[in-house]
């Protein structure tokens, strides 16, 4: 499904008031299930959470309550009332973590795809934070909802993530990220043939005024710089390395879409889940492969995460 024609407006809300979203169904969304269309539109809400909203009567289509399985018609208007989030202290959960490195100051985690970094509406459990609190109960800083979190990866982006274990470490790491003194390199499969094979994208990024769930290249946005280099070419895709100086939300996904080569499998800025060389795409092809920084104790360290098996299979199919 393409979400390009879904248009919506957001009503202003207070912290204790529901958030009201109005969605206009475009021609491309005709005959799509109500729950599936909303899940694709609201990237921060899970499909299960949206189904619960529908069941609770918080969703209307053309002024009428509908089931999750209702098939949409072009031109219909969907109104969604999203209850205000009530941040609470996340519970420790014994979820396995791939710890690449740890010391008294930090944990470096190789996050799998499909795992959310910190609790949010629709994703209150099963997050990196829940797992970290079980593994390292001393990590209780930076507020109750995002303890130790210095930077984030999207749910379906895999790779390296560093977590601070105490306030001094958090301050030291946050300063490096803010001052762009870290090394962050991703591996991505991009749609189309990228020309030239390397370059820099220096384009500000801000919240898309037409869809608050998306980011966009905006002149009034915050500065964002990405450097790309093609590693391998295929008929309809390029395998590339992308190094980012800044760390804006969805930066690589927005920048690559801006130059006409979205991340393969990206459901928000590209064509979504399709296939590459006949191999089904399990998710967007984006992996945080290399992270370099000064540890709070002083020395510069670099960490590497190999490409996960699901993405390796995609490359193997393209090479065959």
Residue count of the chain, please give it: 320
The closest alpha carbon to 26, from 88, 58, 60, 74, belongs to 74
Q: Cα–Cα distance between 100 and 129 in angstroms, integer? A: 16
* CB burial of residue 209 (10 Å; 0-12, 13-18, 19+): exposed
Q: Which residues, 6 or more positions from 185, have their beta carbon under 8 angstroms from its beta carbon?
A: 241, 242, 243, 288, 289, 290, 291
How many whole angstroms from its chain centre is CA 77?
27
The closest alpha carbon to 191, from 249, 275, 251, belongs to 275
Cβ atoms of 127 and 117 closer than 8 Å: yes
Q: Which residues, 6 or more positions from 174, have their beta carbon under 8 angstroms from its beta carbon?
A: 150
- Joined together, the tokens standing for residue 297 give 């104790």
SS3 of 62, please? coil
Q: Cα–Cα distance between 307 and 14 in angstroms, integer? A: 43
**Residues with a known catalytic role:** 154
């Amino acid at each position: 499904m393409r979400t390009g024609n879904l248009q919506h407006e957001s009503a202003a809300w207070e912290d204790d008031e529901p958030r009201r979203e109005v969605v206009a169904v475009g021609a491309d969304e005709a005959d799509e299930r109500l729950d599936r269309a909303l899940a694709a539109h609201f990237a921060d809400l899970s499909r299960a959470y949206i189904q619960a909203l529908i069941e609770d009567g918080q969703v209307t289509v053309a002024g009428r309550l509908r089931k999750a399985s209702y098939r949409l018609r072009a031109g219909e208007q969907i109104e969604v009332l999203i209850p205000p989030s009530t941040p609470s202290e996340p519970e420790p959960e014994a979820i396995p973590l791939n710890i690449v490195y740890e010391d008294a100051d930090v944990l470096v985690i190789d996050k799998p795809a499909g795992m959310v970094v910190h609790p949010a509406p629709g994703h209150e459990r099963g997050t990196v934070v829940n797992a970290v609190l079980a593994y390292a109960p001393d990590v209780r800083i930076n507020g109750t909802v995002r303890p130790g979190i210095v930077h984030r990866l999207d749910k379906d982006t895999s790779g390296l993530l560093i977590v601070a274990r105490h306030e001094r470490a958090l301050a030291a790491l946050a300063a490096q990220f803010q001052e762009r003194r870290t090394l962050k390199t991703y591996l991505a499969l991009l749609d189309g043939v990228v020309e030239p094979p390397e370059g820099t994208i220096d384009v500000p990024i801000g919240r898309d005024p037409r869809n608050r769930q998306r980011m966009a290249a905006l002149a009034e946005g915050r500065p964002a710089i990405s450097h790309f280099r093609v590693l391998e070419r295929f008929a309809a895709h390029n395998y590339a390395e992308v190094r980012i100086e800044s760390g804006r939300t969805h930066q690589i996904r927005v920048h690559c879409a801006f130059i006409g080569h979205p991340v393969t499998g990206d459901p928000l800025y590209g064509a979504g889940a399709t296939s590459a060389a006949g191999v089904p795409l399990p998710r967007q092809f984006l992996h945080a492969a290399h992270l370099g920084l000064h540890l709070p104790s002083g020395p510069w360290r670099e960490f590497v995460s190999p490409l996960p098996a699901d993405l390796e299979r995609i490359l193997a199919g393209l090479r065959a």
